[in-house]
Structure 1
Amino acid sequence: MPPRNTPTGRAGVAPAGPNPHGTAPESAGRATPSSLTRRRLLTGGAGLLGAGALASLAACGTPSASGATQQNLSFWHLLSGPDGVTMGSLVDGFNGSQDVASLTQTVLAWGSPYYTKLAMASAGGRAPDVAIMHAARVPGYAPGGLLDSWDMDLFAELGIREEDFPERIWAKSLHDGELTAVCLDSHPFVLYYNTEIAEAAGALGSDGLLEEATTPEQFRDLAARLGDASDGGHGLAFGYLGDGSNMWRMFSTYYTQMGGTVELPIGGTMQYDEGLAVDTLEWILSLIDGDIGNASHDGGTAISEFITGKAGMFYGGVWETGNYKAQGVPFDISLVPNVFGTPAAYADSHAFVLPHQTNPDPERRRLVHEFVAYVLKNSLDWAAAGHIPAYSPVVDDPAYDDLVPQSHYADATDYLVYDPEAWFSGSGSDFHRYFGDHMQNVFMRTVPPIDGLNGFVERINALLAKPSPV
């Protein structure tokens, strides 16, 4: 069936989803290393922060005296919980590795508040020296001149080259042929499984890994067996209530497995395969039927079900790895089994960007390149949180093989599926929120798949008709 769109209806509305990078109660209150000397957690209620306040915030890394011998660099990011602790350690490591620069972190609230503040700071001429963005959000910023390009010659001098990155990740780092983002990692949507439950179900191979399922029937049978061996009788745990991003991750993974693609041409209409999209939604419904998987979990209850052994498998992002290890769960991870013919792993990447500066200081820019090169070369520590380092020499190092379960899904980088490019797509975006608005009622079986799909497409087409606000 050729791609088409048929905006004929609307569905109900669900609340926006939570921060996907870790469980909120676990992350709250976690201390960060000493390098976080001016840490500011700005909640969603602070989203109306004025431009003057932003200017003061961005200026926190400016040297206090023009004759200072040490450059004080400012670094904005949205990493909290274990990710924030690890990044803080890497910043401390860089600061201690030389005596020319001191990098100061500013941590802002995850999601739309962060991206709004970053855009305002860049447009207002008070941008930080370096920042973290999700790679899928870059297409909404680079065309508006909010990001500067990285210097590949300088990176080559520092030992960082294009061939050091997986092809899909490198391609995602480019805009109009310019390197506008330097990916630190990829964090795909994966399948966790309880190894004790899988063993009891006779579902582990001689290598100790989950047996392969290559058809929908095989996967449902596998899930049913793990459900029979679990304490709660569910083979799968999947949290979607109030979380449009998690709904989209599962949909995108299976829709791509079926051969589907999505394009979002600005000024046009969403290009997709309606038949495959409906088939994907019906497949997901068959997995959250109350038998194979619980029909109405949010993120927290799905995590709890997996931790307590009431479900044999769990769909989620790799960032839950640290949480499950801390809870003592016997688990491993695999890619979402390819049961429809095309291997796929929905993902995004944390990426370093250069927020636009009208007259950047060459020495400060060189130091920022040195900081990014340092983090990339030391990203084995970053892998501990579950993320796959984008810098291939780290993944190819024998030390990475010792990381379990991380080394078991490292080949996901060959099958990454990022969001379709648009100014409104990417992690924590309106694209995900609108998907959740219309698909939650589909997942809860109160709206037919085609009606929810049509409502979502109508909403997206309305955005495509508008120019980018940046």
Structure 2
Amino acid sequence: MVKKAMLFLLCLFLITLAACSKTSQTTSDGRINLDYWVLFGGGDLGYMQDIVSEFNESQDEIYVNIILQDFDDYYTKLVTSVAANRGPDVAVSHAATVPELVNQGLTTPLNDLAGHVDMDFNDFYDNLKDAMEVEGEYHAVPIDSHPFILYVNTDLAEEADLLDENGQPIIEETPEGFKDFFMKARQALPDKTGIAITTGGLDVYRWWWTTYFQMGGTPIFSDDLTDPEITLDQDIAVEAAEYVHSFFGDIIPMHLSDPYETFQSGNAFSLMTGVWGTGIWENADLPFTAVPYPQLFDVEAAQGGSHTLIMPIKEESTDARQQAKMEFIKYVSDSGLKWAEAGHIPSKPEIVESEPFQELPYRSDYSSISPYIVFTDSTIYQSAAETDMTRSLDEIMAGRLTAEEGIKKMVHDLEVTIR
């Protein structure tokens, strides 16, 4: 048994070593060989594979290998591989995670390199550009924004007489009017779920975030990478949580297990989630429309994130390889029209304002909120803070804590996290 166990461990070691081995720096035909790590699943992956293929075919000096990594442990693998100098040449990172990677010394500043390929960070939306900056330097290039939006089943909405002459939902953009829209749907369609969303989890967090900042909420943290102060406005946080919670029961059933399946099967009037659902519903031939989450309060604000490209540090990188990496990064950021087919909003206003993008269904309808996305604060505690906030909101939505109790718990947990 001992010998078998030792043999198993040896095999595991060899498999791991093989998996972590470095790709040859050049291809057999002399092209610079680059490894590109992605975390995409579902329809997103196919669109990104197309972009990489198009890049490889567009020139004969650089070849990019797209490598899919498992989402659940993506960042753990990324940190470990880069620390061992076996990381990818280019990698996808969510904007919220970039400050943590920068603080660990794992990313390459891109200010100077961007100039070498004629890439100007001023070409991106201002809020996106600001989200890429960490302590005065850009460490990532945004390729999209993906806000929290509303999907409505148009067949059901037509049945409930809730569409205008253009086939768009008739929503009065007030807190009461928004809720009334779904109450009318429930009255007309009593056997359908009003909004397909879970009682807890990230979509409720996204909804609360949108509401909080529309109400005039202050940033969660002060502007400090490693030693921030909590600047959350607790009164507004409570008010936002109470508003979201008021939808549960009559409009949203408690503890819905699978919102996506409920919506796709035609058993839900609507669903709220990120824009990545657009490509999914199109491919499923679902009768739907996708619209921005409306401005219900004083401030035009939306929750959203961004997929970015980073250049992990590598000891052996030459100027030629750094240039090649940057050329690929620029190519992907310029391919926003193709990437928009997955549902995302391109990171550059020039692409969004172009006629080809404006002709895309749905995307042009919700792209208007891209400049108003409130991105997360530039702090190393963002990932842990998101977990803290989501857990507290779970307790509120499930009715185990009042909104006031839940927000007090949220602030306490945030204080523990940053100390």
The Cα of 1:168 is off from its aligned counterpart by 0.7
What pairs with 1:338-377 in structure 2 (closer than 5 Å)?
338-377=295-334
The Cα of 1:161 is off from its aligned counterpart by 2.3
The Cα of 1:214 is off from its aligned counterpart by 2.2
CA separation of 1:211 and 1:332: change in aligned 2, threshold 3 A: same
CA separation of 1:151 and 1:314: change in aligned 2, threshold 3 A: same
The Cα of 1:72 is off from its aligned counterpart by 1.1
Distance 1:246 1:107 in 2: 25
Q: Secondary structure at the match of 1:384?
A: helix
Contact 1:216 1:339 in 2 (8 A): yes
The Cα of 1:54 is off from its aligned counterpart by 7.5
Matched to 1:412, the amino acid is: I
Task: Confirm or deny that 1:184 pairs with 2:143.
Answer: yes
What pairs with 1:257-406 in structure 2 (closer than 5 Å)?
257-265=214-222, 266-267=226-227, 269-288=229-248, 290-298=249-257, 300=258, 302-406=259-363
The Cα of 1:68 is off from its aligned counterpart by 6.8
Distance 1:337 1:170 in 2: 24
Distance 1:87 1:54 in 2: 27
CA separation of 1:226 and 1:60: change in aligned 2, threshold 3 A: farther
CA separation of 1:68 and 1:329: change in aligned 2, threshold 3 A: closer
Task: Confirm or deny that 1:453 pairs with 2:407.
Answer: yes
The Cα of 1:287 is off from its aligned counterpart by 1.0
The Cα of 1:204 is off from its aligned counterpart by 2.4
CA separation of 1:414 and 1:391: change in aligned 2, threshold 3 A: closer
| Structure 2: gaps spanning 5 or more residues | 1-11
Q: Secondary structure at the match of 2:88?
A: coil
1:27-83 residue CA offsets vs partner (Å, 9 max, x unmatched) = xxxxxxxxxxxxxxxxxxxxxx99x98876454333379x97221111112112211
Q: Secondary structure at the match of 2:269?
A: strand
Contact 1:214 1:338 in 2 (8 A): yes
Matched to 1:235, the amino acid is: G
Q: Give the share of equivalent positions with the same residue, in percent.
A: 29
Determine the structure 2 residue equivalent to 1:140.
100
Task: Confirm or deny that 1:100 pairs with 2:57.
Answer: no
Contact 2:199 2:398 in 1 (8 A): no
What pairs with 1:31-180 in structure 2 (closer than 5 Å)?
57=19, 59-63=21-25, 69-111=30-72, 113-152=73-112, 155-156=114-115, 158-180=117-139
Structure number having the greater helix percentage: 2
Distance 2:154 2:59 in 1: 44
Cα RMSD after superposing both structures: 2.4
Which of the numbers 228, 232, 235 marks the counterpart of 2:191? 232
Count matched residues.
Answer: 405
Distance 1:228 1:190 in 2: 23
Matched to 1:458, the amino acid is: H
1:353-384 residue CA offsets vs partner (Å, 9 max, x unmatched) = 01112352111111111212222222212111
Distance 2:403 2:293 in 1: 22
Q: Secondary structure at the match of 2:91?
A: strand
1:303-334 residue CA offsets vs partner (Å, 9 max, x unmatched) = 23322333322111111112222222211111
Distance 1:431 1:413 in 2: 23
The Cα of 1:132 is off from its aligned counterpart by 0.6
Distance 1:269 1:173 in 2: 21
Give the structure-1-normalised TM-score. Answer: 0.80
Contact 2:336 2:345 in 1 (8 A): no
Distance 1:192 1:205 in 2: 16
The Cα of 1:270 is off from its aligned counterpart by 2.1
